Amino acid sequence: MTTPASAMTRCDVLHEDRFLIVVNKPHGVLSHPNPKSGKPQTSAFEGSYDADRRCFKTAAGVVWLLHRLDQDTSGVLLGAKDEKTAAACRALFEAEQVRKKYLALCSGGGALKPEGVWLDHLVTAHERNQVRSTVRHGQRPNAEAKYRVLERSALHRILLIEVELITGKTHQIRVQAASRQIPLVGDDVYGSFELNRKLRKSILAKRLFLHAHQLSLKHPASGQPLTITAPLPPDLSAVLEAAGMKAV
């Protein structure tokens, strides 16, 4: 019997079967709680979280968290309903056999080529309960992403891009874009404070424009291809429309 999704998650369910549960995580919701926070937190799945096993103990059973999205990022988040399935999925992630595509709105990208590959060496530092990554030049790349431009707007040279992560580093898309002088709209860590202020007024861009749009993998039980797509949230669609761009 399939475990009822409503007892496992507070998010909209994009796909569910005997083995997997895939949800659409909203902006502002954690993938899992931070035990060092000391504050009430809202996370994607219900119940207590076991950080060592990376799973939630919900009233309807255990859900293993298979990857993470930053709190400010919305979109596809994958969970498993049993430990064997979790191990199989994690092996797919480690073998880079899971395709993860994001939609990102960047500024200052008038000269960006229609498509390409970003290769960088990223270093992550933890300071004062904050995490920040930087690009370190002259070292062997450990972060790879493919991008393609979907649409351009003359307004602040804004462009909508689709990014496929080959690796999964902390804040990878945000850091790689900012290092190329095309910071993500609404990025209050790596972006431009002044530009973000202007865009809040002109196109109602009130938060980070980064959405985990699509995830594809071989189903761990059947071996059949599985692709899950999360629609762009209404607030981000409204930003595109205000910029004179087509909603995705």
Q: Is the dihedral of CA 164, 168, 174, 176 positive or negative?
A: negative
| pLDDT given at position 187 | 96
> What's the rounded Cα separation, in Å, for the pair 90 and 25?
19
Q: Are 56 and 49 in contact (CB under 8 A)?
A: yes
Pick the catalytic residue from 12, 70, 187, 235: 70
Residue 70 annotated among the catalytic residues of the structure: yes
Closest listed residue to residue 232, CA positions, set 216, 244, 214? 214
> What's the rounded Cα separation, in Å, for the pair 160 and 116?
14
Q: In Å, how far are 47, 73, 166 from 169, measured between CA atoms? A: 27, 14, 10
Q: How many C-alpha atoms does 29 have within 13 Å on its Cβ side? A: 19
Segments of the chain scoring below 50 in pLDDT? 1-2
| pLDDT given at position 1 | 40
| pLDDT given at position 10 | 83
| pLDDT given at position 35 | 64
> What's the rounded Cα separation, in Å, for the pair 151 and 245?
7
| pLDDT given at position 28 | 92
Backbone angles phi, psi at 151, to 5 degrees: -160, 150
- Side chain identity, residue 96: E
What H or E segment, with its residue span, contains residue 225? Answer: strand 225-229
| pLDDT given at position 5 | 60
| pLDDT given at position 77 | 97
> What's the rounded Cα separation, in Å, for the pair 48 and 33?
9
Name all domains of the chain by residue range, CATH numbers in brackets: 1-95 (3.30.2350.10), 96-248 (3.30.2350.10)
Backbone angles phi, psi at 37, to 5 degrees: -70, -45
pTM given for the model: 0.92
